[in-house]
Structure formats: structure tokens, C-alpha cells
Amino acid sequence: MNHTAEQVANPAAVTAAGLALDHVSLKLGDGDSTVTALDDVSLTVPPGELLAVVGPSGSGKSSLLAVAGALITPGSGQVHVGGVDVIGLSSSRQAALRRERIGFVFQSGNLLPALTAEDQLRFALHVAGVRGAPGREPRDLLDQVGMAHKARRRPHELSGGERQRVGIARALVTSPALLLVDEPTAALDRARSHEVVQLLAAETHEHGVATVMVTHDHDVLDHCDRTVEMEDGRLSL
């Protein structure tokens, strides 16, 4: 997906939806051990784009996800999610934004051990306070990710790839504007890795989600619309 020169130069032009980071810097640690985790990062991810973020260990990829997910407030710069100015929000409003507008997918699926696949999704809807629209129907969504037949299974009864599918469905059930995905294929074999990233691409495109996926897995980049690289806290577009 291409952007006009104006959109690249001025992320505010496309903040109506998706993700926009504008000149974001973040320092971590204190005293002598301060590290510049993000160094003047500007990035726009429009709805319907799957963006891959690659780069060496310690380059700032997790920091980028944490700032985009309203988990850490940067020292300077602007962050917009779904058109909302994240930095201007109180911490309780940031928490509501995370529950309602942002989906998180982690390496291991991070499912709750006691809940069935279907209840993972129902619980996420409950926590977000979404009743009916704009949330998605859990059964339909499990069907779309190929897990309807295992809707009543608990995580320990599922394979790694199946858990990852349920984790993706759970992240999407609230119809988020932004999906943040951290190393989704780290625990999967090659075939399952392709399936999971293909699924992420399909959901991103069909439901107009802005998706940012951090990965070390260069095999799956072909499924992504765009790849950016981080190095020493800086982003090369």
C-alpha cells in the first residue's frame, strides 16, 4: 500500500483511523544507564495494512509496540490510534482505549488456561464492555480463523498454531482499529507460521484493521504489505 508524499511527511493527514506516530522519542532506564529506545520515530499505518517490523535484538521493536499500544507514554512526539490522541488521555482513558480499540497478540497466544476457545473471546468482549456492534460474533470469528470445531477446547488441548489462531481471534473480537502482534510465529514450524501470518493478512485486509507485526521470521514477510527496519531506536522506511 503506497502513501502520498503529503501523508508520509504529515502523518496527521491520515490519523482519522489506524496508527500514526509523529516524531516519537522514548528514553528508558535512568541515570548513567539511560537508553534511547525510540529516536524520532514517525510512522503511519492506515486501516487495512499489515506492516512488518524487523531489526536486531535491542533495536526498539518492543518499545515501538508498547508506545503504539498506549502501554508507555513517550518523552516526546504524538501518538494517534483510530484518530484518538493517545498522549492527551488520562491513564484510565488510555486503559479503555487499549481494551476497546487495540488488539494484542503475543508470541505464545497468552490464553487463559481455564477458558474454552469460545469463552476466551466472550471474556474479551465482556472486559471491553462491548455488547453487540461493533464487536464481532465469537462463533463466526472462530469459524473464520478455522477453529469453530474446537470452540469448546481449553488451551492445553490445542496445538501451538491453534492457540495462536484463538489468540488472534480474541484480539479481533472487539473490532479493534489497531492490532499489535509480537513474534506470532516464534513457537511455530514453517508451515504453521505461513498459515498464521496469512490469517493475519486476511483479517487485516477484510476488516480494515491497521496491523503492526514484530518478527524475526523473514520467511513470512511476503504476506505483509510493507516492511520497516529498526536499528538503534531509529526506523528506516
Ligand X SMILES: Nc1ncnc2c1ncn2[C@@H]1O[C@H](COP(=O)(O)OP(=O)(O)OP(=O)(O)O)[C@@H](O)[C@H]1O
Nearest distance in Å: CB 56, ligand X: 7
Residues sharing a CB contact under 8 Å with residue 185, sequence separation 6 or more, in sequence order: 164, 192, 193, 196, 197, 215, 217, 220
Give how many residues touch ligand X by CB under 6 A: 12
Chosen residue from 3, 7, 8, 28 binding ligand X by CB under 6 A: 28
Q: Does position 2 bind ligand X by CB under 6 A?
A: no
Nearest distance in Å: CB 161, ligand X: 22
Nearest distance in Å: CB 172, ligand X: 23
Q: Which is nearer to ligand X, 188 or 235 (CB)?
A: 235
Nearest distance in Å: CB 154, ligand X: 29
Cell of 127: 472486559
17: Cα separation from own chain's centroid: 14
Read off φ and ψ for residue 174, nearest 5 degrees. -90, 10
Nearest distance in Å: CB 113, ligand X: 25
Q: Does position 9 bind ligand X by CB under 6 A?
A: no
Nearest distance in Å: CB 73, ligand X: 14
Q: Does position 163 bind ligand X by CB under 6 A?
A: no
Interface pattern 32-71 for ligand X (x via CB under 6 A): ---x-x-----------------x-xxxxxxx--------
In whole angstroms, give the CA distance from residue 121 to residue 137.
9
Q: Which is nearer to ligand X, 38 or 111 (CB)?
A: 38
Write the DSSP assignment of 39-55 as a string of letters: EEEEEEE-TT-EEEEE-
Q: Are residues 122 and 130 in contact, defined by beta-carbon separation less than 8 angstroms?
A: no
214 class by beta-carbon count within 10 Å (0-12 exposed, 13-18 middle, 19+ buried): buried
- The DSSP bridge partners found for residue 84 are 81
Q: Does position 208 bind ligand X by CB under 6 A?
A: no
**Would you tell me which residues interact with ligand X (CB under 6 A)?**
28-29, 35, 37, 55, 57-63
